[in-house]
C-alpha cells in the first residue's frame, strides 16, 4: 500500500466525529518513497520536472511512476519541513489519507481512510461528516477526486497493457554519479525501447497515434532527461548532509 499504514473503511457512524487538520497536511507520509505512481493524464505536467518510468508489479503488469529518489526510502522532494519542495504533486499523494478500494468479485467500491495519518483528530480541523451523519462538502470533494482518479487509473492500466502486449518495455539499469564520484546504480526500472517501437508494423503506429498512446510514449521518453535534475538534487542533499570541515 506504499504510503498507507492503518487503512479502514470510512464509516459515518464510527467516524462521525473525525476531522482533518488541513494545517497538518504535509508530505511526511511520502518521505520514504523513491518513486510515486502516476496516471497517464498526469504525464504532461509531471514530465516538466520528473523522469517517468515504469515499474513491474508482482502480477507481471506495469505501472507508470515518477522518480523522486535514487536510493530506497529516499524522497528528494520532501523537505525538512515535511513539505513537497517543488514541482507537480501526483494525484496518488493528493488523495491521501483517503483511498478508494475495489471489490471486483462483488463489483463494489469502498472509501477507506488511513487512521495512521497524524492530521486526523476529533477535536480540530474540518469535519468529515455533518451532525446528521451526511457527508460534508470537503468529504464529497475528496470522494469525487478519488472517483476520477480511479477512472484514470483504469485508463492507465489499458495503456500499460498495450505496451506489454507489444513488448515495448525493456529493463534498464540507471547509473548516476558525477566526474570523480562513485557510480551508483538503480535497477528494476523499465522504459520504452525506441528500437522496438521503430520495428512495429505500419498498421500499429496509426493505432497508437489515434489512441494517444504514441504521444504518451514520447512524453515518457522526453522526461528521461530529468534524471540529470534528480542526480543534481541528490548531490545537493549529500553536500548538505556532509559534516563541515574546519
Rounded CA separation 191/205 (Å)? 18
Residue 242: per-residue pLDDT: 63
Look at 221 and 228; give whichever has higher pLDDT: 221
More confident position, 106 or 220: 220
Average pLDDT of the residues of the chain: 91
Q: Is a pLDDT exceeding 80 seen at residue 217?
A: yes
Number of continuous H segments (helices) and E segments (strands) in the chain: 7, 11
Q: How far apart are CA 145 and CA 139, in angstroms?
A: 10
Find, among 243, 239, 236, 244, the residue nearest to 77 by Cα.
236
Residues 118-170 pLDDT 10s = 899 999 999 999 999 999 999 999 999 999 999 999 999 999 999 999 999 99
> Coil, helix or strand for 78?
strand
pLDDT of residue 174: 83
More confident residue, 105 or 125: 125
The per-residue pLDDT for 107 is: 81
pTM: 0.91
Q: Output DSSP code: residue 200.
A: S
Give residue 246's pLDDT band: very low, low, confident or very high (50, 70, 90).
very low
pLDDT digits over 168-180, tens only? 999 998 877 656 6
Q: Is the pLDDT of residue 182 over 70?
A: no
pLDDT score of 37 more than 90: yes
Amino acid at each position: 500500500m506504499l504510503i498507507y499504514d492503518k487503512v479502514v473503511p470510512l464509516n459515518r457512524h464510527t467516524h462521525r466525529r473525525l476531522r482533518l487538520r488541513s494545517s497538518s497536511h504535509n508530505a511526511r507520509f511520502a518521505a520514504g518513497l523513491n518513486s510515486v505512481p502516476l496516471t497517464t493524464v498526469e504525464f504532461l505536467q509531471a514530465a516538466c520536472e520528473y523522469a517517468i518510468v515504469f515499474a513491474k508489479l508482482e502480477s507481471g503488469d506495469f505501472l507508470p511512476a515518477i522518480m523522486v529518489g535514487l536510493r530506497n526510502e529516499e524522497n528528494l522532494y520532501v523537505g525538512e519541513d515535511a513539505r513537497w519542495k517543488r514541482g507537480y504533486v501526483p494525484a496518488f499523494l493528493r488523495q491521501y489519507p483517503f483511498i478508494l478500494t475495489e471489490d471486483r468479485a462483488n463489483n463494489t467500491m469502498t472509501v477507506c481512510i488511513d487512521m495512521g495519518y497524524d492530521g486526523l483528530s476529533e477535536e480540530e480541523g474540518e469535519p468529515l461528516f455533518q451532525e446528521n451523519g451526511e457527508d460534508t462538502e470537503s468529504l464529497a470533494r475528496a470522494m469525487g477526486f478519488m472517483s476520477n482518479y480511479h477512472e484514470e487509473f483504469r485508463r492507465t492500466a489499458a495503456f500499460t497493457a498495450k505496451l506489454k502486449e507489444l513488448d515495448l518495455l525493456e529493463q534498464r539499469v540507471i547509473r548516476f554519479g558525477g566526474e570523480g564520484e562513485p557510480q551508483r546504480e538503480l535497477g528494476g526500472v523499465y522504459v520504452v525501447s525506441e528500437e522496438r517501437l521503430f520495428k512495429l508494423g505500419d498498421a500499429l503506429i496509426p493505432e497508437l497515434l489515434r489512441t494517444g498512446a504514441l504521444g504518451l510514449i514520447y512524453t515518457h521518453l522526453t522526461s528521461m532527461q530529468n534524471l540529470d535534475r534528480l542526480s543534481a538534487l541528490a548531490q545537493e542533499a549529500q553536500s548538505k548532509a556532509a559534516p563541515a570541515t574546519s
